[in-house]
Amino acid sequence: MANEKKKNLTPAQQEYQTLAKGREPERPVVQNCIRAFWVGGLICFVGQGIQTFFLHFFDFNEQTAGNPTVAVLIILSILLTGFGVYDRFAQYAGAGTAVPVTGFANAMASAAIEHRTEGYVLGVGGNMFKLAGSVIVFGSVAAFFIALIRTILIQWGGL
């Protein structure tokens, strides 16, 4: 808790905070990192298998096989979210499922499923894109600054 907020607490609230902090279970950080690493790697392994499938059976090249691979991963993620499998998997794996494109598809699909009773436009569309908007803005801003840095390095660094 921030020091500024701590100053406004009554003695009883401070005592409760101390008691709660003492009873809070310790998080297995190393175990969580290992789970996230191997599950994220497993998702990437499945994606590589799908891409290899497109390369061998549909006569794509490496540049053109990427788009259908991502589409299949997104569809699989949405189906697993709809059946409730992806959330249990994500509970176990943590950040390993959040980083790839499947995590973004899961977040959008779960928001759509959660708000479907409010209607398709205001419920599904409105709440599904609340998350997407911030991700798209952050991705666009990050891409701009990375392109700017790359341009500066190429221009002045001779890379």
Question: How far apart (Å, rounded) are the C-alpha atoms in residues 9 and 17?
Answer: 10
Indicate whether 76 pLDDT > 90: yes
What proportions of the chain, in percent to the nearest 5, are helix, strand and coil? 85, 0, 15
Is 38 part of any domain? yes
Distance CA 19, CA 24 (A): 9
Domain that holds residue 107: 28-157
Are 37 and 90 spatial neighbours (Cβ–Cβ below 8 Å)?
Answer: no
- Classify residue 4: in a domain, yes or no: no
In a domain, 139, yes or no: yes
Q: Is residue 59, in this structure, part of any structural domain at all?
A: yes
Whether 78 is in a domain gets the answer yes
- Global confidence as pTM: 0.68
Please compute the mean of the pLDDT values over residues 96-115 and round it to a whole number. Answer: 80
Name the domain count of the chain. 1
Q: Tens of pLDDT along 14-55?
A: 888 888 888 888 888 899 999 999 998 999 999 999 999 999
- For residue 140, give both structure tokens: 């666009």
